[in-house]
Amino acid sequence: MALRELLIALDVETTGLDRFADEIIELALWRMLPGEAPQLLHFFVRPNQEVPQKILRLTGIRKDELEGARTLLEHKVEILQALQGAIIVGHNISFDIHMLERGLGVRLGNEVWDTLDLARVFFPSLKTYRLGALAEKLGLELSGNLHQATHDALLAYKVLEACWEKGLQFDLSFFHHAQYYLPGWPSRGFFTALQREVTRRFPTRPIRTDVVLAPAQGLFRETTGASQMKKKVPQDASWVAEALSPGGELARKLSGYESRQGQVAMASAVAKALVHSQHLVVEAGTGTGKTLAYLLPSLWWAKKTGQRVVVATHTIPLQEQLAQKDLPILSTALSFPFKSMILKGKSNYICLRNWLTHVSEGRDLVLEEKLASLSLLTWLRETQTGDLQELPQTAGIARLWPKFNSEGCISNRCPQAGTCFLLRAKQKAEEADVLIVNHSLLFSDIKTDYNVLPEYYYMVVDEAHHFYSTALEQLGLELSEERIAKVIERIFRPAGPSLVNHLKARSAYYYSLAPNVWERFKVRLDDVPAGCALVLEQAQSLFQLLQGVMGERLSLRLVKAHKNMVWWGTLEIQTENLGGRIKALH
């Protein structure tokens, strides 16, 4: 690292995780200054309370080491001298600093760089940021064990080095966009030092104001080995059973593969159904190996006929399992190449147009959202898919994602269409032999007259026992008094922001643009508040009626026999009135 600052890598071990009741039992400070060898200040601390056995086992600290140690206050002078003028570095360092400040009875004014936050920014696709797991992922090697202060403090410094080295690769536009999220963030000084070093060492790197993405790879990663060595697709359906049987293709290619009778029977049935264009319903018990039993014949049939097979699962996690585990297994084992692809709903992909709008709004975000935005700045330079599932599901990302996902995608009319992740995914889907979707996306395709998925000829529905509930959810229409009220509030409410109040506040401007048009429009606008009140009144009446009809029941399906009920006529009138009032307001 080319840092001129004095850094202190800090870690403490404590009697527990209660910030206000537990105490420090071990402290390590590594003094890091360019041009000097690292210096260690380390000691055990005698606490005023009994140390739980599990803590002693976890840290490897012996009871006699604590009994013979001095108290934390007896080390106060040397600790404060060591920290003077230094930047404190550590993993989830706020806990360590709080414990140290409480134990010493002081308020430390040092700048702090938290490697937990920095790792989330510079390595955004990791699923966990625990120090041990992080060290393993980053290939950091250190002697010693986790939960030993000297080891953990030095390991945190190594994580900082890894973040620094990765940051040196970034163009200056990264720092240009990051500036919106740095105010109020404790580790912002790391970015300042990093930007200074990048500018010094790479003065010719450009500053771009648009979004910077990873170079697009080919439509499909080469997961099928050396494709020129692959054989032709077997022609006879009997190959499917043979491939899964003892001594078959999977057994020869995959170490530890065990043939299962139920799996062979299911795969044969799926192959037969595909060949004869028949419907097939299968109930497979646990341990059958059903995913390979339907994937293998589906891949074989798609390659043999050139006709795409869609596999629909209930959940996105199962989609991910198919893509990351089962399909790679088959890619290794099968003698013919194939192309597979996951396609998800619009809300799973980031919209670059929305993201560019979001970039300049950093000052209005809370700290967790700023950290999430910085993570996304890095992620966009690495991702090939723009898929939310690549990111850890932190609170900040969960809150921000609805702002810049592709739910409102305007497709080819968008200025970012050339780099759009959603359009890229759809293009890949067009070329796939087997396309993996979930039930919701399948019904969205049906709902939009087959405008979501590319043309397909055969379909496998996995987890089919959920199919009915998804159909109700996707193909039905939901209406509630609360949702009606929210829409009406956006149109008009007596106080606060609404469409009507916004238009009236700018009436002078609109009048200056087109006086005659505005005067005619204003007559209708004046009627909108009364129209909104009528809709709310009618909605309230309708849902009061429905509440009476429901009684104590949680759900009620309306059927033909209900037409003989005394309330049916009133229900028809109420729904017709609500529709009429909504239409009038519209």
pLDDT, residue 147, reads: 84
pLDDT tens for each residue of 353-393: 888 888 777 667 889 999 999 999 999 999 999 999 899 88
Angstrom distance (rounded) from CA 277 to CA 371 = 52
Tens-place pLDDT, residues 463-502: 999 999 999 888 888 889 999 999 999 999 998 889 999 9
The DSSP result for 267-296, as a single string, is HHHHHHHHHTT--------TTS-HHHHHHH
The DSSP secondary-structure symbol of 356 reads H
Q: How confident is the model at residue 472, as a pLDDT?
A: 87
- Residue among 82, 95, 93, 97 at smallest CA distance from 31: 82
Q: How many CB atoms lie within 10 A of CB 4?
A: 11
Asked if 455 contacts 463 with a C-beta cutoff of 8 angstroms, the reply is no
pLDDT tens by residue, 292-306: 999 999 999 999 999
Residues 322-346 have a mean pLDDT of 91
Residue 211 is classified by DSSP as: -
444 neighbors 470 (Cβ within 8 angstroms): no
> Hey, how many other C-beta atoms are within 10 angstroms of the C-beta on 118?
27
Please state the rounded mean pLDDT for residues 129-157. Answer: 88
Structure confidence at residue 229 (pLDDT): 47
Q: How far apart are CA 268 and CA 242, in angstroms?
A: 9
Which tokens hold the place of 412?
Answer: 């080819």
pLDDT computed for residue 362 by the predictor: 64
pLDDT tens by residue, 85-124: 999 999 999 999 999 999 999 999 999 999 999 999 999 9
Say what the pLDDT of residue 219 is: 45
What pLDDT, on a 0 to 100 scale, did the predictor assign at position 94? Answer: 94
Q: From CA 377, how far away is CA 355, in angstroms rounded? A: 10
The pLDDT assigned to 1 comes to 59
More confident site: 34 or 96: 96
Asked whether the predicted pLDDT for residue 209 surpasses 70, the reply is: no
For all residues of the chain together, what is the average pLDDT? Answer: 90
What pLDDT is stored for residue 226 in this prediction?
Answer: 39
State residue 462's pLDDT score.
Answer: 94
Radius of gyration of the chain (CA): 31
As a whole number of angstroms, the distance between CA 14 and CA 45 comes to 9
The alpha carbon of 453 is separated from its chain's Cα centroid by a whole number of angstroms, namely: 23
Helix (H, G, I), strand (E, B) or coil at 312: strand
pLDDT at residue 207, rounded to an integer: 75
Q: Which two tokens stand for residue 281?
A: 């319903």
Q: Scanning the structure block, which residue is given the tokens 């210096």?
A: 39
The string of pLDDT tens digits covering residues 190-204 is 999 999 999 999 888
Closest C-alpha to 534, from 500, 583, 478: 583
| Token pair in block for residue 177 | 């966009």
Residues 6+ positions from 391 with CB-CB distance below 8 Å: 124, 125, 375, 376, 379, 397
- End-to-end distance of the chain based on CA atoms, in angstroms? 63
112 neighbors 25 (Cβ within 8 angstroms):
no
- pLDDT category, 223, cuts 50, 70, 90? very low
- DSSP label at residue 50: P
Q: Which domains does the chain have, with CATH numbers?
A: 7-167 (3.30.420.10), 481-585 (no CATH)
pLDDT at 119: 96
DSSP for residue 20: T
Top mean-pLDDT range of 153-162, 176-185, 248-257 = 153-162
H helix intervals, 381-434: 395-404, 421-431
**What is the SS3 assignment for 437?**
strand
Does 279 or 449 have the greater pLDDT score? 279
**pLDDT attached to residue 513:** 92
Question: Is residue 512 scored above 60 in pLDDT?
Answer: yes
Q: Is the Cα dihedral 444, 448, 452, 457 positive or negative?
A: positive
Crossing angle of helices 395-404 and 352-359, rounded to 10°: 110
What is the distance of C-alpha 153 from the center of its chain?
30
Q: Please, which residues have CB within 8 angstroms of residue 468's CB and are 6 or more apart in sequence?
A: none
217 pLDDT tier (thresholds 50, 70, 90): low
